[in-house]
Structure 1
């Protein structure tokens, strides 16, 4: 191919990327760069902004409410293995050439494309004392009386976590489905010829070859879990008694309700560092698993 044709292709490709790059620069990278020095100030939109050094970070680690929200955010990470395990099973199920499998693929993916606000409102209604969740559980004999899930300090956070799992399954299922369809069928057939049953093929052949996809999905899921906001904000607002408060919502409250932007920026930076640590650990675990196969 002549050089000028390649040049035109490169120009066209970068032209297509340019709107997205501009969007990222304006709404992602600029706020990050601006937020870094902001974390070391006592920012005020009306009065003079003062440099306070590490005081915001010292305040954060002495703030019982922030530490409680951080604990809840870290607790939220337990949804990650649940989502990954169930979504892998769903992907294996819909990867078969069964009658009506296309319908199930679409049905599982519908929650992904549905607005989280709409999903959270719907589930908030279902989790009410006279909602459908209590009706079903009482019908099958699992509970004797109605439970106010979102108004109970013992169940509010876990109810929101359930919604996160329910909505995320279809997204990760599609990624795993793409991974399953990239695995050469000859490897699975060879294992069956050697006498492996279906479960042994899945455990010893399919899962190891899915490790790169497990790494990607786990990383995305961990970041989403620590930065969760929408469902908590809509369903509980962090209550009752801050039992479901997470760092995303706590940062929002400090910034846009208390107008304590410097402190909110410091909290955001702490959470970003925690996400970075989880990212490094996830990559380290992934390298031990099976990434070398892809070399």
Structure 2
């Protein structure tokens, strides 16, 4: 036994020795967490609050008021207090011409027929956008993706109509398509027939002329979006395909077009929603036509509310257009863009 053990101090702790460290980080006071939470919510309120207030004031509140007005028969020239509650009559008039057998034929011609004509025009614009605008925009984007002198200037010219104000573009085309305008004179000079009632008013030519103007106005957005998608395609993939003997068109069809699929689907989504809510150009070009050749749901809604002063029915049309847009968006997001959203979550 050693002297240290005999003294009984062998197992005693050494004076001044430090206890083993329990952690390198200092202990955070409990009061700092509520402060951090308050700071986080303060930052959210400062940055999100103004946008949320604007959204509530200019989107949610008008939509709620429109839903309320849609249940009334209301002459918009008079105070709303004089309106008469009629329930869902405005909706049934738009969809089926009402429920009263005695007035159903009259209401069908006055309400349902113009509504379904506008819905048909919106549907035609959506279908033609996919069948006409999409392939043209894709081909132009593929060509402009190649390097050649003046490529930037050509891109600017193609995109310029999209940034042009709708009022300016509409008035310009009204002057160009006037019965005595330059387009009519040019067509007559070539010995081709011209519409007897004018390009925009002829029952056969009116809608197609309107669709041409809409395509000229908005196809630039599709081209720019496709070019942005093509810029993200790896050049090594295209070079490898070219080395393997693939032609330029085969490279586009097998590599570029499949890889910009998400961009194409995003444009299609924007085009569908924009076609449902299309208003500006159709309204400027004679409010959808004298015989509603190219009237849309939005132009019918505004015409009903401002010209016929039927605020209740116009509000019902606004709610119907909102429901159609929402359903189309949900279906498209659920069935078409589901793969893109799943890939982004997996990444």
Normalised to the residue count of structure 2, the TM-score between the two structures is 0.74
Q: Distance in 2 between matches of 1:279 and 1:260?
A: 29
Deviates more, 1:12-21 or 1:170-179: 12-21
Conserved 8 A contact 2:187-2:194:
no
The 3-state SS of whatever aligns with 2:200 is helix
- Point out where structure 1 has 5 or more consecutive residues left out of the alignment: none
Q: Distance in 2 between matches of 1:111 and 1:9?
A: 44
Conserved 8 A contact 1:164-1:231:
yes
Identify if the C-alpha distance between structure 1 residues 282 and 203 changes in structure 2 by more than 3 Å, giving closer, same or farther.
farther
Matched, 1:51 2:85: yes
Residue in structure 1 matching 2:121, options 67, 72, 76: 72
Counterpart mapping for 1:245-260 below 5 A = 245-260=295-310
- Which structure has the higher relative contact order (CA within 8 Å, separation 6+)? 1
Residue in structure 1 matching 2:69, options 16, 21, 38: 38
The 3-state SS of whatever aligns with 1:149 is coil
Q: Distance in 2 between matches of 1:238 and 1:36?
A: 25
Matched, 1:244 2:294: yes
Conserved 8 A contact 1:226-1:275:
yes
Matched, 1:279 2:279: no
Residue by residue over 1:135-163, the C-alpha shift from the partner in whole angstroms, topping out at 9 and shown as x without a partner, is 3334455x145652112111112211111
Number of the residue aligned with 2:56:
25
Q: CA deviation at 1:15?
A: 5.0
Matched, 1:131 2:181: yes
Counterpart mapping for 1:137-176 below 5 A = 137-141=187-191, 143-145=192-194, 147=196, 148-176=198-226
Q: CA deviation at 1:196?
A: 2.1
The 3-state SS of whatever aligns with 2:257 is helix
Q: Distance in 2 between matches of 1:288 and 1:205?
A: 22
The 3-state SS of whatever aligns with 1:206 is helix
Q: Distance in 2 between matches of 1:290 and 1:51?
A: 46
Number of the residue aligned with 2:285:
235
RMSD: 3.0
Q: Distance in 2 between matches of 1:51 and 1:272?
A: 22
Residue by residue over 1:62-113, the C-alpha shift from the partner in whole angstroms, topping out at 9 and shown as x without a partner, is 1222222222222222342222222222222222222111111111121111
Conserved 8 A contact 1:209-1:290:
no
Conserved 8 A contact 1:39-1:262:
yes
Structure with greater helix share of residues: 1
Q: Distance in 1 between matches of 2:339 and 2:139?
A: 19
Q: Distance in 1 between matches of 2:154 and 2:43?
A: 38
Conserved 8 A contact 2:301-2:314:
yes
Residue by residue over 1:218-269, the C-alpha shift from the partner in whole angstroms, topping out at 9 and shown as x without a partner, is 1111111122111111112222322222211110011222222221121122
Q: CA deviation at 1:284?
A: 5.0
- Point out where structure 2 has 5 or more consecutive residues left out of the alignment: 1-32, 98-111
Larger radius of gyration: 2
Deviates more, 1:65-74 or 1:111-120: 65-74
The 3-state SS of whatever aligns with 1:27 is helix
The 3-state SS of whatever aligns with 1:245 is coil
Conserved 8 A contact 1:251-1:268:
yes
Q: Distance in 1 between matches of 2:113 and 2:160?
A: 39
Conserved 8 A contact 2:278-2:298:
yes
Identify if the C-alpha distance between structure 1 residues 288 and 8 changes in structure 2 by more than 3 Å, giving closer, same or farther.
closer
The 3-state SS of whatever aligns with 2:264 is helix
